Each structure stands twice: as structure tokens, then as C-alpha cells.
């Protein structure tokens, strides 16, 4: 297929210094195709939407959806998927950490039959050891807990076929962890390797706590193993307690004169069990929270304005 439409979705949140440099690199990289670039402005409070409008006035293929407020990166991607008309749909960060030239390589793999083409990071520049380390740890934990294998070193830089977009748009659940949903679908998958550059300007929006929350969302939406683990913890500690009781009874019968000590043991056991119980309630609470959000069934995002769409 040579006459296809390529959609490129760019979620943007306060990226005023990156919009122009991004367009200057993205447009030359994809102008050989029929293309549309859809910016999803996730409630930016700076000049980002104005700059995109200027570009959209000059080029009909540059389009924009603006949210009422900040609904989050995953919701922005999701809005992009709903608006995209392409036969192949790529998603890319606005900060030029993902090189736009790689999209052409993704298109090649897609034309050879892949329905999902991930950009896989070979190296990360300008990201400290902490971010790389926590990311590795996260993927390890995720794959241990999840029933769906989530590919390692793969973020939201990918190209997917229209079929995958249709599947994603038809989902009724809230897409809090899109890369997991994409992996879950199991369409034929390929990888394109790239070097993740430094952020062009500005700071990451994913600080430690946001990363942690994102990771927990990912785990909770792809696995119920934490609940199973809680059951095991309970089982193991109850068994130990039971053995302890039997031991004490025998001791009492066989050595009635032995002196009662060991209050520290009791203290430690109470704290330990208290901790496990709190953790277990927390885990159950997380899932109840997820159910609650799904039941409320609020819109994923609210759109303020659409340009060229």
C-alpha cells in the first residue's frame, strides 16, 4: 500500500519552546507521506496552543484538539487516537526525546506487515541513573506481576495500524496505561531501536510521585496478582502463628517451670502483622478505587476546541 494516510499524535502540555523545533523536524521527516499531525493540547497554560494555531493556519495537515484542563498524558493520547484518521498512527513526545526520523523506519516495518511497531530505547541521554534505574525496576516488577508481557524499554513512542486504533477506541475502560493495552492486544509486533535524546527544553512532567502513581496504575490495571500475594502473606503468617501456638502449648506441658519472657517478640509481631494488614487493605482499596472510577464513568476528557478537524 503506497497511498496511505499517516497520523502523528503529539500530546503537549506547556511545551511552548518545543512546538516550533518539533514541527521543523517532524514535517521534513514525514512530508513524503500523506500525513496529519494532531497536537493534543492537554490544558496548557502557556503559549503552546497559540503557536500550534499559527502553524495550523499555514498548514491544513497540522491539527489540534484542546482540552478544557489538564487531563493527563494518557488521556491526551487517547483523544488523539479517537481523532486520528490514518491507516497508520504514530505517537511521539513533544520534547524531541523521540527522534521524528524514526517514524519512517516504523512505517517501513508496518508496510512489511507489523501492526504494532515500538520504538525501543537503546540508550537514554540526559536521564539520570535514578530515572533509568527505577524504569528498569518497574518493568521487572510489572512483568513479574502482570499476565500480559509488557515490553521492556518501550514507552509511548510507537506506530500502530488502524486495526489496533479501532480496538483501542472500542475499549470501555479508562486507558490509564495505554502501552499495556496495546501489548495486551497481541497484534504482530516489531521494534525499531533508537537513542533517546535529552529533552530539548523544559522539565519532565513525570517526577518521582507521578512515575510511582503511573507504575501503580499500570500494575493494577493489568494484574490481580497483588490481591493473590496478599492472600499468600495472610496464609503464611497465620500458619506461623499456628505453629507458635502449638510450640507454646507443648512447652507449657513439658517444661511448666520455664519462665515467660519474649515481650519484644510480641511487639515485633504486632507491628509486622499490623503493617501487613494495612498493606493488604491498601491493595484491596486500590482495586475498589479503580472499580469506583469505572462505575462513575465520567468522560475521559472534555474538549474545548478543535482546529482543522
Chain contacts with ligand UDP (rule: CB under 6 A) = 11-13, 15, 42, 70, 72-73, 76, 93-95, 97, 204-206
Nearer to ligand UDP, 45 or 224 (CB): 45
Minimal distance, residue 82 CB to ligand UDP, in Å: 15
Minimal distance, residue 118 CB to ligand UDP, in Å: 15
* Dist CA 17 CA 168 (whole Å): 31
C-beta separation of 88 from 161 below 8 A:
yes
Residues 6+ apart with CB under 8 A from 302: 67, 68, 69, 71
Residues 6+ apart with CB under 8 A from 136: 152
The verdict on 93 binding Mg ion (CB under 5 A) reads: yes
- Residue 133 cell numbers, joined: 534505574
Helix (H, G, I), strand (E, B) or coil at 158: strand
**Of Mg ion, ligand UDP, none, which one does residue 206 interact with (CB within 5 to 8 Å by kind)?**
ligand UDP
* Dist CA 224 CA 221 (whole Å): 8
Nearer to ligand UDP, 66 or 87 (CB): 66
C-beta separation of 30 from 5 below 8 A:
no
Nearer to ligand UDP, 54 or 134 (CB): 134
Minimal distance, residue 96 CB to Mg ion, in Å: 9
Minimal distance, residue 283 CB to ligand UDP, in Å: 26
The verdict on 156 binding Mg ion (CB under 5 A) reads: no
Select from 188, 185, 204 the least CA-distant residue to 196.
Answer: 204
Nearer to ligand UDP, 15 or 87 (CB): 15
Minimal distance, residue 272 CB to ligand UDP, in Å: 36
Nearer to ligand UDP, 202 or 234 (CB): 202
* Dist CA 276 CA 126 (whole Å): 38
How many Cβ atoms sit within 10 Å of the Cβ of residue 232?
A: 10
- Among 7, 18, 97, 223, the residue binding Mg ion under the rule CB under 5 A is 97
Residues 6+ apart with CB under 8 A from 105: 192
Minimal distance, residue 95 CB to Mg ion, in Å: 4
Select from 304, 300, 309 the least CA-distant residue to 79.
Answer: 300
**Of ligand UDP, Mg ion, none, which one does residue 98 interact with (CB within 5 to 8 Å by kind)?**
none
- Residue 43 cell numbers, joined: 490544558
**Of Mg ion, ligand UDP, none, which one does residue 205 interact with (CB within 5 to 8 Å by kind)?**
ligand UDP
**Of Mg ion, ligand UDP, none, which one does residue 192 interact with (CB within 5 to 8 Å by kind)?**
none
**Of Mg ion, ligand UDP, none, which one does residue 30 interact with (CB within 5 to 8 Å by kind)?**
none
Amino acid at each position: 500500500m503506497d497511498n496511505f494516510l499517516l497520523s502523528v499524535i503529539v500530546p503537549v502540555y506547556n511545551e511552548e519552546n518545543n512546538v516550533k523545533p518539533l514541527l521543523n523536524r517532524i514535517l521534513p521527516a514525514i512530508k513524503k507521506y500523506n500525513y496529519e499531525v494532531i497536537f493534543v493540547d492537554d490544558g496548557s497554560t502557556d503559549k503552546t496552543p497559540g503557536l500550534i494555531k499559527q502553524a495550523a493556519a499555514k498548514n491544513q495537515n497540522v491539527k489540534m484538539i484542546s482540552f478544557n484542563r489538564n487531563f493527563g498524558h494518557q488521556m491526551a493520547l487517547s483523544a488523539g487516537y479517537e481523532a486520528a484518521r490514518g491507516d497508520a498512527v504514530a505517537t511521539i513526545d513533544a520534547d524531541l526525546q523521540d527522534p521524528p526520523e524514526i517514524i519512517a523506519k516504523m512505517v517501513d516495518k508496518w508496510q512489511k506487515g507489523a501492526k504494532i511497531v515500538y520504538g525501543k530505547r537503546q540508550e537514554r541521554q540526559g536521564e539520570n541513573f535514578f530515572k533509568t534505574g527505577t524504569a528498569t525496576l518497574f518493568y521487572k516488577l510489572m512483568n513479574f506481576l502482570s499476565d500480559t508481557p509488557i515490553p521492556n524499554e518501550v514507552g509511548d513512542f510507537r506506530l500502530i495500524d488502524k486495526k489496533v486504533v479501532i480496538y483501542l477506541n472500542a475499549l470501555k475502560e479508562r486507558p490509564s496505561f495505554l502501552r499495556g493495552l496495546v501489548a495486551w492486544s497481541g497484534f504482530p509486533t516489531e521494534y525499531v531501536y533508537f537513542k533517546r535524546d535529552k529533552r530539548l527544553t523544559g522539565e519532565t512532567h513525570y517526577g518521582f510521585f507521578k512515575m510511582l502513581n503511573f507504575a501503580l496504575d499500570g500494575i493494577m490495571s493489568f494484574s490481580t496478582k497483588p490481591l493473590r500475594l496478599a492472600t499468600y502473606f495472610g496464609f503464611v503468617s497465620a500458619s506461623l502463628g499456628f505453629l507458635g501456638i502449638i510450640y507454646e502449648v507443648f512447652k507449657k506441658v513439658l517444661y511448666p517451670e520455664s519462665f515467660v519472657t519474649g515481650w519484644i517478640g510480641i511487639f515485633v509481631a504486632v507491628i509486622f502483622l499490623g503493617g501487613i494488614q494495612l498493606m493488604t487493605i491498601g491493595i484491596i482499596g486500590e482495586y475498589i478505587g479503580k472499580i469506583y472510577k469505572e462505575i462513575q464513568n465520567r468522560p475521559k476528557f472534555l474538549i474545548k476546541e478543535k482546529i482543522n478537524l
